[in-house]
Amino acid sequence: MWNPDGSGRHPPVDLSTRSSSSPTALLSSIRAQREEREAQRRLEAAATTVQKVWRGRSAASAVRADILAQLEAGVSVQEGARALLLLLRGRGERARVGALLVKWTTAALARGPEGQVFGALVAEDAFAFGILLASILRFVSTSPRNETSAKLLTSLEAFLKPAAYTNLPPDCMSEVVAALGARAWIETLADITEALATAKRRHPLLLPVIRLVTAPTALVPLTTESPLLPPLVHTFLAIPALPSSIPLASLTHLSSSLPIFSILLPASAANPLLLKQGRLADELGRTYFLANLATFGITGGMLQRTGAPGKRAWMSVVGAILPTLGEGWSAWTESSVSGAAGVAAAAVMDVDDGSEDDDTAPIAPERPRLPLGIAKALALLASPQHIGTLASYATSSGSLADFSTYALNILVAFRGSPKWEGTLDALLDGNRGRALIKLLWREGVRGKWNNAPDQWSQFSKNPQKSMLLLLTYVYNHYLFLTPDDEFFSANNPLSLDEVLELSSTWRDLAFWGYLNGVGQGVRGAGTEADRRLFTQGVVRVTERNGRRKFAPDEYWVMDSNLRDGFIDAVKYEDELLELETRAANDSHGIARPQQSANVRQFMSRRQLANSRISPRLGLLNNMPMAVPFSTRLQVFREFIRADRKRLGIQRYGRARHRVSIRRSHLAEDGFRQLNSLGPGLKNIVEITFIDQWGNEEAGIDGGGLFKEFLHNLSKEAFDTERGLWLANLRNELYPNPHSYAKESHQLEWYSFIGRLLGKALYANMLVDVTFAGFFLAKWLGRQSYVDDLASLDQELYRGLIQLKNYPNPEELSLTFSVTENEFGVAKNVDLIPGGSEIPVTAENRHEYIALVCKYKLDWQFAAQSEAFFAGLSDLIDPRWLRMFDQNELAQLLGGEETPIDIMDLRKHTTVTGFEDERTPAMFWRVVDSFSEEQKRQLLTFVTSCSRPPLLGFAQLNPPFGVRNGGSDKSRLPTASSCANLLKLPDYRDEAMLRSKLLQAITSGAGFDMS
């Protein structure tokens, strides 16, 4: 019955089929319950483990307490030994344990009726006795500076005296020593030595510790099979500053008792894995190891006194470790040994020419600062004394290959530091250096290398590789240091024929290195460093040949190995490089062709050489002399043609710059209107001349008017009276170093002149200007040498050569400074900080000479050169110019410095408009009778340049032409220089023709577009 208040109602029933919870919630609930049960099981297991450990420790403590009580109550020596072995496995109660150890060792060392008491222990179980001794030493290592440790160390010495084992079986001593080796005897002593040396320098307890190092070797002589040998090498000898951390008596004992040169080093040489274990597994340990060896071997004279096996082992072990040291190791080791001498040496370091812009060089890791003593010890490895000792040994013992490998490893380790150059100086020193070069040449190079690709592809396997590489390093350094007069004298260790043969070996290997690529040096092809080294050698020899010819023409050309289509292949590589550069630039938002070209043009020679898509470009930019000059010239013009196409420049296109030039203000107008164009100067420039009355001169510029403008402007810009340029004794130009030339407006002029010369090269126009050799070398990015100074200041060059050979340079009272005069005021310039206070001596004169050259050839022109080359590079990619040497660049710029070949000119001249051959025949007879100066005046009159084009008149474009200029015989000949055309009236008298032609070409008038 219905109840109004709702009482007695049944609970509601949900008759729907919907689940009360989702499957996801159900799974989560099940997972949570399972994790809760697992956590509970882990908690119970942990509680069980804790209980087990607690019970075990409690039982062990009880046992330990019982043993301590028994020992303190007194037991026999044998029982005490067994109890102490158990006791020393645990920790705690150190004072009680130490007292018991002192008590037991005293009892064990007491004498009985049959000798010392511990002898019975040894006879019973020698190995266990050795373990006990090692355990006592481990106990000492936990606190080595207290009185207990001192007593125990003394006792351990007594236990290891050979006299105590005289009545025991012979194998007992071997068992004891084996146990010591098994229980880290040497490693523990190394830890104690470090702890004592850190706490107090030369701690008195170091005396017994060091004696304990060699004590086992008194029982059993050390052999290559001894278990103590590996830790002696890879742990004990790697203790930081070991020789300087121990007392002098200990050092003397160690030097006389530890067989470093007779056992340790030969064993390490036979088993190189030793040098990768223990503390030698990391660079810091290897560094300490080398420093300790240097102190024992070099400072202590052990290397000098040891025989041939010891020296060979030294070279093998030290030589094996040096290549494993990381990037920047030499700079790190020298960071504590720096000073004025180091600054000077670093400033003039002999470097390879291809190392600039090296973005691929690994970054040196951060390292802790090295103590001064260790740094000085490491420097001994590259000291003249050390290098001289081993070089003398190598030249007299037949170990040249081993020494070559060792010296190369020294050079690799000290690369980038003054010690690198010091090592080369030591190898070159005096008669020994000459003998070394000759021996390396005979044993490692002469007749042993041929021009075959497999010589490079299998280079790393060649047994003569190390000798060739060392000779290359040393002779390259000789070329760097030696002026031309000495190179061409009898003092040269090699004859000129031998130099040429050596350079051809370098050329062959480097050539195949560029074309076939480099390897990693472990096996197969040579490395990039090998290729760069050989390239450097070829470049330095060819530079000598450029200054004073001693090689046949095209001696270094590899024409037979340059396959057909070389130029097409170079163009293809350049296109691929352009595509790669554009792709890289697109990712950085650089899209314009000119911007892309600007990014690409500053690729270094090394970057080009290592590019996987540009082997021939790498060859052209690093070792261009291997390619015929005519081929390189054609490649240069192909590069320009491709650049024009890329920029959309057309000779007859409408896009051009139109410029009006007043003849009376030619330089001013040219600078004002053209300098701001920058790279835009690559486009066609159309010149309109304004005469003295303000009228435009007749004619349309087809190139000839710009040639005239360039010709006249160059005469004005390069006039030494203007102040931008100076001339040497041979009338060759170089930038004025005066401060006036460094003013901002003058630097703008240098940039403008650079752009104009770039335009001349870009447009294949010759400019009648000659630059000094050292300045042309800067165009090519070459390093300056002392012989380059001759092209700047012949008197200073001779003075420096005299200084180089002067027996007592101290008498000259020179300092590391130079005096400059400006406007009659003398100014002293330091070559290094504080240079005016540093005297020039026999030891540092080479640095002084090099610094003077660097100042004169580089530093004083730095701003002017930078401005000039900035303008030049707006139009000419520097890598295009690196395909040439200095002499070839001079020819590229101004034509060949050779007498004008009239036969060649006549062969490639077009003659038109004459009724018969009478006038042309007279013309050629007259020209043939001209002096060389008159011939050059004729050439200037017609082509605007006094020098013949490169590779002859066949290359002149347009060809040289002679056209009938009319029948009016009173007129003078005229020229259209844009067309290289001479307009010659139809003279019928040879004397008149000669007179009129000379009058025209010597008048100095402007070019008339008649």
Give me the DSSP letters along 79-140: HHHHHHHHHTTS-S-HHHHHHHHHHHHHHHTSEETTEETHHHHHHH-HHHHHHHHHHHHHHH
5 located within any domain: no
The residue count of the chain comes to: 1010
Q: Is 694 left (phi over 0), alpha (psi -120 to 50) or beta?
A: left
Distance CA 396, CA 403 (A): 11
| Rounded (5°) CA angle 64-69-71 | 95
My answer on whether 67 and 159 are in the same domain is: yes
My answer on whether 231 and 88 are in the same domain is: yes
Q: Where are the alpha helices (DSSP H) in 718-844?
A: 744-762, 773-779, 794-805
My answer on whether 243 and 322 are in the same domain is: no
Distance CA 450, CA 470 (A): 18
The 8-class DSSP code of residue 300 comes to: S
Q: Where are the alpha helices (DSSP H) in 767-828?
A: 773-779, 794-805
My answer on whether 772 and 794 are in the same domain is: no
My answer on whether 456 and 392 are in the same domain is: no
pLDDT given at position 345 = 40
Distance CA 258, CA 241 (A): 17
At 851, which CATH number? 3.30.2160.10
pLDDT given at position 507 = 93
Distance CA 70, CA 83 (A): 9
Indicate the residue among 607, 625, 647 that finishes a domain. Answer: 647
Residue 110: partners with Cβ closer than 8 Å, 6 or more residues away: 116, 117
Distance CA 711, CA 947 (A): 13
Distance CA 328, CA 78 (A): 58
Q: How many CB atoms lie within 10 A of CB 1002?
A: 13
At 966, which CATH number? 3.30.2410.10
* Among 622, 470, 459, 471, residue whose Cα is nearest residue 532: 622
Structure tokens at 319: 């030589």
638 located within any domain: yes
Distance CA 888, CA 629 (A): 8
Structure tokens at 733: 């130009």
Contact indicator for 939, 900 with CB cutoff of 8 Å: yes
Distance CA 950, CA 633 (A): 9
Structure tokens at 487: 């190179």
Sheet holding 981-984, edge to edge: 909-912, 960-964, 981-984, 974-976
Q: Where are the alpha helices (DSSP H) in 687-743?
A: 704-717
Residue 971: partners with Cβ closer than 8 Å, 6 or more residues away: 965, 985, 996
Indicate the residue among 556, 591, 622 that finishes a domain. Answer: 556
The neighbouring-strand residues paired with 981 are 961, 976
Q: Which residue has the tokens 């320009």?
A: 640
Which parts of the chain sit beneath pLDDT 50? 1-2, 4, 6, 339-348, 352-359, 590-591, 593, 595-600, 602, 1006-1010
489 located within any domain: yes
Q: Is the N-terminal amide bond of 958 cis, ω within 30° of 0?
A: yes
Q: Which residue has the tokens 């630039």?
A: 585
Distance CA 319, CA 269 (A): 10
Distance CA 587, CA 576 (A): 17
Indicate the residue among 222, 251, 280 that finishes a domain. Answer: 251
My answer on whether 297 and 319 are in the same domain is: yes
Contact indicator for 157, 215 with CB cutoff of 8 Å: yes
At what angle are helices 418-428 and 384-397 packed, to 10 degrees? 40
pLDDT given at position 341 = 39
* Among 655, 759, 748, residue whose Cα is nearest residue 709: 759
Q: How far is CA 516 from the centre of its chain?
A: 22
Instruction: Provide the 3-class DSSP secondary structure of residue 1004.
Output: coil
Residue 172 is part of which domain span? 58-251
Contact indicator for 606, 357 with CB cutoff of 8 Å: yes
**Pair type for strands 725-727 and 733-735:** antiparallel
473 located within any domain: yes
Three-state SS letters, 906-925 = HHCEEEECCCCCHHHHHHHH
Structure tokens at 447: 């007749």
Q: How far is CA 890 from the centre of its chain?
A: 30
My answer on whether 74 and 220 are in the same domain is: yes
Structure tokens at 925: 């007879």
The 8-class DSSP code of residue 552 comes to: -
Alpha carbon separation from 927 to 266, 481, 924, 971 (Å, rounded): 82, 49, 5, 19
Cα-Cα-Cα-Cα dihedral sign, residues 824, 830, 834, 837: negative
pLDDT given at position 53 = 80
Contact indicator for 784, 857 with CB cutoff of 8 Å: yes
91 located within any domain: yes
506 located within any domain: yes
Q: How far is CA 552 from the centre of its chain?
A: 32
Structure tokens at 737: 């170093």
My answer on whether 766 and 791 are in the same domain is: no
Question: What is the residue-wise DSSP string for 312-373?
Answer: HHHHHHHHHHGGGS-TTHHHHHHTTS--HHHHHHHHT----TT-TT-TTSPPPPP-PPPPHH
Q: pTM of the entire structure?
A: 0.81
pLDDT given at position 1009 = 40
Contact indicator for 381, 319 with CB cutoff of 8 Å: no
pLDDT given at position 276 = 94
Please name the helix (run of DSSP H) or strand (run of DSSP E) that holds residue 280, with its range, or none.
Answer: none
Active site residue ranges: 978
Distance CA 756, CA 735 (A): 16
Distance CA 133, CA 968 (A): 123
862 located within any domain: no
Q: Phi and psi at residue 20, in whole multiples of 5°? A: -75, -20
Alpha carbon separation from 73 to 68, 69, 103 (Å, rounded): 8, 6, 12
My answer on whether 643 and 696 are in the same domain is: no
Distance CA 505, CA 469 (A): 11
* Among 474, 522, 472, residue whose Cα is nearest residue 502: 472
7 located within any domain: no
My answer on whether 436 and 492 are in the same domain is: yes
My answer on whether 165 and 108 are in the same domain is: yes
Count of domains for the chain: 7
My answer on whether 745 and 643 are in the same domain is: no
